[in-house]
Structure 1
Amino acid sequence: MTDTPVPSTATSAPLRILITGSAGFVGSHLVERFLNEGHSVIGVDNYISGQVSNTDLFVGHPRFTFIEADVSHGIPYEGETLDWVMHFASPASPPHYQQFPVETLMVGAQGTQNGLELAHAHGAGFFLASTSEVYGDPHVHPQPETYWGNVNPIGVRSCYDEAKRYAEAITMAYHRSRGVNTRIIRIFNTYGPRMRPDDGRVITNFVHQAMRGEPLTVYGDGSQTRSFQYIDDLVEGISRLMAALYHEPVNLGNPVEFTMLELVEAIEDVLVRRMSVEHRELPQDDPKQRQPDITVAKCVLKWTPQIELKTGLDLMLQRDAANR
């Protein structure tokens, strides 16, 4: 493994960065980070799962431009030379990508190629947001980047899993055959403010059910595990990878593992009240375990997550309340 880690994009000259999926949860936090660092940002989104309210946070900023477009059909950018194309466009929660399976496959396939072509034309770096879902229901625990996964290629989740696996393959092909300066991250469960209320992933479900005084929905017996990463930790890892000369996939996630019932307890501690639980049948192809091996991120990026679960839940509640 070779690496040239640099702490942050904040140390570099101002950049021009195009972000697909800029109105999404992660995309909007990247827009905020880069604008705060003095960079110029072009956001692209078609709002299939992004939120207009996330774009509205930056409208009027002198270094922010927004393009409403479906990047599966092309990226209509004709401005000055780009330094980075960052591909974060895709439905990312099971309810959304199962509602839009063809669109999810297309943004992972054609959308990724369109981003790579744009980066190649500008001599820009290309940054792919992949996912821990490429590991499927893993037989190896925790999951290192060298694990090839256990994925059902025709299951209800395959539109997302296989789109991301293909996106990684074409990204590496453009790097090897055409010299594009690429980066790939595999994002593990991440949470924080600006997530859609109907996101469908467990922390969003629990937080909004708790705020409405409803029982928390636990699928199966609640013994399945996840690791939870706060959005600020993810954004820091992304920033560091941009500045590191490393082209293989990198896991970004929090390796501290929780069962769903332990997550219920954490929600109760933050809200200082007891919650009732409603058990439902486990969804098809739902992974029993998911935990990142972050050895590569530690070595290459000098990165480890800093925000523990209860602190992050409290921050999420505070920041969402402040934006209402």
Structure 2
Amino acid sequence: MTVEKNAPLWQGAEWVARQGDVPWGELEGKTVAITGATGLIGKTLVLSLMAHNELAADPARSVKILALVRNEARATSMFGEGGDVTILHWDASAPSTEGYPKADYVIHCANMTDSASFIEHPVEVIETTTNGARSMLEYARHVGARVLVLSTMEVYGQYKSEDPIAEDQGGFLDAMSVRNSYPEAKRLDEALVAAYASEFGVSATVARLAQTFGPGVAYDDRRVFAEFARDCVEGKDITLLTTGEKRNMYLSTGDAATGLLTVLTKGEPGRAYNVANDDTICSIREMAEQVADRFGDGCTHVEVKVDTEAAKRFRKGDLLRLDTTAARSLGWSPKIGLMDMYSRMIDQWKCDGKGC
């Protein structure tokens, strides 16, 4: 394995592996297939399972991992060769699982998550999103696996209420808005999960994630949370392209991993679960100001320069507060706060730059 043991990315994986509320007993001795295994959430899951195996120090308790990726060389450089990880080629744009070994569990993480691509390449977003989910549902049906499909808080659309949104609620989502190519495709993924569970008896569930970040986010990531941190690292001011009034909830990569493993093993087939940290809700402007104050070393300030064209990349709506009661009822709870998420992400960037 090429991730250094003193790197925040591996330390985060060990943190997940030590969480006693994760149903590890359901996973031990089993095989877990993970698509998008070199993406942010995918690699967090792979490394967390590897860390569990190392801490368990018992082959009988090890989890075998099938890492499904487009770039096998990148996966090899990340996870090493041999051991408990088997790297398999898989591409959501032309998915095929022919000749794959049997898995007991499947977590479908692969997806296009750059909001600019939702506008620039909406056809590809729709095709890869739906084709990838269908491929994994068919694979799970064929091998008899439990499958978890990752979705997004954006499926709720514009929900006009201060009350938390439960999984059976939702707001307006304009199908003719090109920006909505992503949430509309995710809605179809969810419909496929319900359909496969009903028609074929596939043990399939959905996890609707809040925006997730932490160690492992690329330094050049174009999403706003990364832009805020990058401005602080480079000593620049944070420039908001909207008024910053929109309020969101967030989730750390570590809490995402514990939540997904819990929903995967204990979730009810044919239903969705919100996975978010209730304590992180804040406006975009509030988050920018907190980040500048905590990590800007007095050099970073927040300014507003509204750009109506650039604002088209962002989700519409003023508030999105997810009700996490269902996921918590399975025994899961988030533990990592918003500024700690930033701290761990920035520490990983510094580690990458120094070659730790």
**Greater Cα offset, 266-275 or 144-153:** 266-275
* Equivalence for 2:12: none
CA offset at residue 83 of structure 1? 0.7
Map 1:47-196; keep pairs closer than 5 Å: 56-141=77-162, 142-196=164-218
Q: Which amino acid aligns with 2:41?
A: V
Residue 301 of structure 2: aligned partner: 276
- Aligned-residue RMSD, C-alpha: 2.2
Letter matched to residue 21 of structure 1: G
Residue 253 of structure 1: aligned partner: 276
C-alpha distance in structure 1 between counterparts of 2:41 and 2:78, whole Å = 14
1:230 and 2:252 are equivalent in the alignment: yes
Paired residue secondary structure (1:190): strand
Q: Indicate if the aligned counterparts of 1:152 and 1:158 stay in contact, CA closer than 8 A.
A: yes
Secondary structure of the 1:228 match is: strand
Give the conservation status (yes or no) of the 8 Å contact 1:54–1:194: no
Q: Which ranges of structure 2 fall in alignment gaps of 5 or more residues?
A: 1-19, 53-61
Give the structure 2 partner of residue 28 of structure 1.
43
Tell me, yes or no, if structure 1 residue 221 matches structure 2 residue 236: no
Q: What are the superposed Cα offsets for residues 172-214 of structure 1, whole Å, 9 maximum, x if unpaired?
A: 1000110001121000111112223343222111111221222
One-letter identity of the residue aligned with 1:315? R
Which range is displaced more, 160-169 or 34-43? 34-43
TM-score (normalizing by structure 2): 0.82
**Bigger share in helix:** 2
Partner SS state of residue 107, structure 2: strand
Indicate if the aligned counterparts of 2:152 and 2:209 stay in contact, CA closer than 8 A.
yes
Deviations 1:149-169 (A, max 9, x none): 321112132210111000000
CA offsets 1:229-280 (integer angstroms, 9 cap, x no match): 1111111111111221413100001123111222122213332425223423
Partner Cα separation in structure 2 for residue 100 and residue 64 of structure 1: 32
Cα distance between partner residues in 2 of 1:29 and 1:143: 27
Q: State, as a whole percentage, how many aligned pairs show the same letter.
A: 24
Structure 1 letter corresponding to 2:333: T
**Kept in 1: contact 2:31–2:105 (CA 8 A):** yes
1:290 to partner: Cα distance: 1.9
In structure 2, the partner of 1:44 is 68
CA separation of 1:152 and 1:199: change in aligned 2, threshold 3 A? farther
Instruction: In structure 1, give the amino acid aligned to 2:173.
Output: V
Q: State the 1:55 CA deviation.
A: 5.5
1:41–1:77 CA distance, 2 compared to 1 (3 A): farther
More deviation, 269-278/109-118 = 269-278
In structure 2, what residue type is equivalent to 1:131? T
Q: CA deviation at 1:309?
A: 1.4
* CA contact 1:153–1:162 (8 Å) conserved in 2: yes
CA deviations on 1:277-303 (whole Å, 9 max, x unpaired) are: 34233523533222211111122x222
Residue pair 2:212, 2:252 contacting (<8 A) in 1 also = yes
Q: Is the 1:138–1:290 contact (alpha carbons within 8 Å) kept by the matching residues of 2? A: yes
Correspondence for 2:352:
323
Unaligned runs of 5+ in 1: 1-5
